[in-house]
Amino acid sequence: MEWYINLFIVLPFVGFFLSLLIPRKKEVWLSRLSFTTVGIQLFSALFFSILWLLKGAHVINLKEFSIFKAKDYDFYIDFYFDGITLTYLIIGALLTFIITVYSQYYLHREEGYKRFFNVILLFYLGYNIIIFSGNIETLFIGWEVLGLSSFLLIAFYRDRYLPVKNAVKVFSIYRIGDVGIIMAMWLSHHLWHENISFFKLNNYELVHEHLAEHSMLGFTIAFMFFISAAAKSAQFPFSSWLPRAMEGPTPSSAIFYGSLSVHIGAFLLMRTYPFWEQQTSFRVFVVFIGVITAVIATMSARVQSTVKSQIAYSSIAQIGLIFIEIAIGLQEVALVHVAGNAFLRTYQLLVSPSVVSYKIREQFYNFVPRQKTIEDSWPRRIEYTFYMLSLKEWNLDSFMYRSMWNPLKKLGSRWAFLTFKNVYYFFALTFVTGLVLAMNPDVVPVRLRAYLPLLFGLIGLLMVIKAFTERKSVRLSWSLIIMNHLCIALAISFNKHFDVSHHIWYLSGVIACGLLGYLCVQRLRKQGEWVSLDRFYGHVYEHPRIASVFLLACLGISGFPITPTFIGEDLIISHIEENQILLAFLIAMSLIINGLASIRMYARIFLGPHVKTYHETAKRSS
């Protein structure tokens, strides 16, 4: 019976893969394939769940295979099934099934019909990998897939400015969540000295014993999980991305941002619950954030004048309550709440266009001018202040902007002297020096030796910041991203257990994809296209193939699970010593910005309003 779990991963994967092969014009094939895939999944899920419940509902842990194995390091795929998985499985299959049936007609004649179903299936694959994952590594694969599919769906209308801008914005928040998981993986490695499975976390004594020795470490790991969960579930202070994600066709917004994607943060919390169950301070912290989110989001929902953003904030508020329920140990309540909230918001979003006729009709018969609300009973100064704060979404959007991206932009602009022509000299000099030092560590005074990884980590970080903020040269930016990886590799080389084969894992994908991306850019230039990073160019309009290949290159170079670099990143990080927190921080930052820089490049070159205006182009504000 356990074996059937594989089916739940394989099926969406096969569906997704086949959907790529179907020609664009074959609407019926595409939609049939999609709802057949999800339909089979739904029925098998129901069948499997009943069987599982009848057989006593024992937790299933299925260790699949190791992808990479070394001394006390084992990157393996692991699947897991319990009540939480079951709930998410049924909710997911049910809603995705409905949405695919719905979209079959709804998307008819839409330019991106195929793309839509590709992405829905990719999303569904990622979703299932996450909910079935038995360890953080497996979960992380799904996590990345989910992030990518979100980006692609928000930017579904890729020829307009706002969807692309918002897609990059949401991706950047997701990226923060990703790094939460990377850091949690690194720290866990040091806590457990192995790649622990979720199954083992159920062992109360084991967890207790480890946490007793390292309570600070335990809190930090839990905190990292929390960052990821909060980012994905749009909790405080990340809430403002959710309404901005409502850029795709309504049904996609309904399942992504109304229901499935946004509840994945809650899933992560429930999944890791056994780990932080014993940390009261952390639980208090989760409740605290949950309360803040619930209050802020409710107030924001009350002032929203657009239907979708109102639903988004209401959903966020309920997820805040779900976080609280999880933290106080009411997991069953939380699961029911997740299901109810997902169903309700999906429905509300799907019928959101009907709001116009419904409310206008209601108003026509029942209008009462100047209806009082509860807030009118507050002192005016309080009322107005809260109103304005709510309308401004509690400054959360500008907070993200000011605290994260503005400093980066400032840092990046200091490096104006770097150009595509001289960056290689500069890099060669640095890198060769570093390499020589790494091979002959003895020439460096012992006192300074500990700072070398930091130095190169820092250079790497600065390079990728420059790449992220570069406004002109595509080739410069792209080269800097590759150099960033090389610097990270170099920085790690100073550590003790340095192993060349790990570097090969890490850098193979980077180099290959780096080359691929470079070729794409060259190809575009050869065809007479102007490419730069100072605006959106929208070249996908004329060069959809190059765009797809370049996207793959971007994914590969930022450690998406399609090249060995994905495992390499994890491997490299595991080499960071427990006491090298600063180095871990530098590298984590590098990875965040690295992914951002490459996706930003993809967006700028290929997405957004087309630079050529011989065809219809929307206004920037629309």
Partner 1 sequence: MTNLHASFDRDHALHQLKHYLPSQAPLKDFIHHNTLHAFQEKFFHTGLAEAAQIFGYKVYLSLEEYQALYANGKINDEVLNKILETQENDGPKITKDQLLTARSEDTLIPRIGRLRSTWKSQFRIDLDSLVHPILFRIIGSYLDQGVAIWNFPHNDEGLISSLRELEKNSLTSFFRTNKVRTLLVSGGFTTESLLQMIVGDESLFEQYLMDQQCAHPGWSGIVSVIDDNPGALTDARKISLEEFIQLELLMEIDALDDHFGAIWAPLATRMTERPTPLFEDVIPSETQRFQRLWQDAFEWTFYNNVLSGIKVSRVEAEKTSKSFQSIFCIDDRECSLRRYVEEEDPNCGTYGTAGFFGVEFYYQPEHGKFYTKVCPAPITPKYLIRELESSISRKKDFHFGKHTHGLVLGWIITHTLGFWSIVKLFLLIFKPEQSQSSVSSFNHMDEFSTLTIENTNGEMTPEGLQIGYTLTEMTDRLENLLRSIGLVDHFAPLIYAVGHGSSSVNNTHYAGYDCGACSGRPGSVNARVICHIGNHPIVRNMLRERGIDIPSTTQFVGALHDTSRDEISFYDLDALHEKNRTLHAENYAHFNHALTKNARERSRRFMSINTHKSAWKVHREVKQRTVSLFEPRPELNHATNTLCVVGRRSLTENLFLDRRSFLNSYDSTTDPEGKYLLGILNAVAPVCGGINLEYYFSRTDNQQLGAGTKLPHNVMGLIGVANGTDGDLRTGLPSQMIEVHDPLRLLVIVEHTPEVVLKTMKINPATFEWFENEWVKICAIHPVTKELSLYKKGVFEPLIYLGETPPVAQDIDAIIGKEQENIPVYLLKTV
The CB-of-621 to partner 1 minimum distance in angstroms stands at 4
Q: Are 460 and 491 in contact (CB under 8 A)?
A: yes
106 vs 219, beta carbon nearer partner 1: 106
Between the alpha carbon of residue 421 and those of residues 247, 418, 424, 473, the distances in Å are 39, 8, 7, 10
Q: Are 516 and 549 in contact (CB under 8 A)?
A: yes
Q: Which residue has the tokens 């001394």?
A: 71
- The C-alpha atoms of residue 245 and residue 146 are separated, in whole angstroms, by 14
Minimal CA–CA distance to 146: which of 113, 122, 115? 122
Q: How many CB atoms lie within 10 A of CB 555?
A: 23
447 vs 615, beta carbon nearer partner 1: 615
Q: Are 137 and 570 in contact (CB under 8 A)?
A: yes
156 vs 267, beta carbon nearer partner 1: 156
DSSP string, 328-379: TT-HHHHHHHHHHHHHHHHHHHHTGGGHHHHHHHHHHHH--SS---GGGGS-
- The C-alpha atoms of residue 378 and residue 463 are separated, in whole angstroms, by 52
The CB-of-110 to partner 1 minimum distance in angstroms stands at 6
369 vs 445, beta carbon nearer partner 1: 369
Residues 6+ apart with CB under 8 A from 425: none
HSE, CB side, 13 Å, CA atoms: give it for residue 540.
25
Residue 612 one-letter amino acid: K
HSE, CB side, 13 Å, CA atoms: give it for residue 620.
5
Minimal CA–CA distance to 137: which of 214, 61, 198? 198
| Residue 112, φ and ψ in degrees, nearest 5 | -100, 35
- The C-alpha atoms of residue 467 and residue 474 are separated, in whole angstroms, by 9
298 vs 495, beta carbon nearer partner 1: 298
Q: Which residue has the tokens 């060349």?
A: 500
Q: Which residue has the tokens 């190791």?
A: 66
The CB-of-606 to partner 1 minimum distance in angstroms stands at 18
The CB-of-191 to partner 1 minimum distance in angstroms stands at 36
Residue 382 one-letter amino acid: I
DSSP string, 445-497: -HHHHTHHHHHHHHHHHHHHHHHHH--S-HHHHHHHHHHHHHHHHHHHHTSTT
280 vs 373, beta carbon nearer partner 1: 373
The CB-of-370 to partner 1 minimum distance in angstroms stands at 8
The CB-of-426 to partner 1 minimum distance in angstroms stands at 26
> Which helix H or strand E contains 48, and what residues bound it?
helix 27-54
- The C-alpha atoms of residue 223 and residue 225 are separated, in whole angstroms, by 5
83 vs 249, beta carbon nearer partner 1: 249
311 vs 491, beta carbon nearer partner 1: 311
The CB-of-101 to partner 1 minimum distance in angstroms stands at 6
The CB-of-476 to partner 1 minimum distance in angstroms stands at 19
195 vs 310, beta carbon nearer partner 1: 310
The CB-of-521 to partner 1 minimum distance in angstroms stands at 20
For residue 600, count CB atoms less than 10 angstroms from its CB and return exposed for 0-12, middle for 13-18, buried for 19 or more: buried
Per-residue tokens: 212: 């007793």
The CB-of-69 to partner 1 minimum distance in angstroms stands at 44
- The C-alpha atoms of residue 176 and residue 227 are separated, in whole angstroms, by 8
The CB-of-360 to partner 1 minimum distance in angstroms stands at 5
123 vs 427, beta carbon nearer partner 1: 123
202 vs 298, beta carbon nearer partner 1: 298
Minimal CA–CA distance to 258: which of 98, 392, 38? 98
Say how many Å lie between the first and final Cα of the chain, rounded: 52
Residue 125 one-letter amino acid: L
The CB-of-466 to partner 1 minimum distance in angstroms stands at 18
The CB-of-220 to partner 1 minimum distance in angstroms stands at 31
The CB-of-154 to partner 1 minimum distance in angstroms stands at 9
- The C-alpha atoms of residue 328 and residue 63 are separated, in whole angstroms, by 31
The CB-of-108 to partner 1 minimum distance in angstroms stands at 6
Minimal CA–CA distance to 323: which of 341, 347, 302? 341
- The C-alpha atoms of residue 531 and residue 215 are separated, in whole angstroms, by 51
Per-residue tokens: 73: 């390091």
244 vs 543, beta carbon nearer partner 1: 244
340 vs 544, beta carbon nearer partner 1: 340
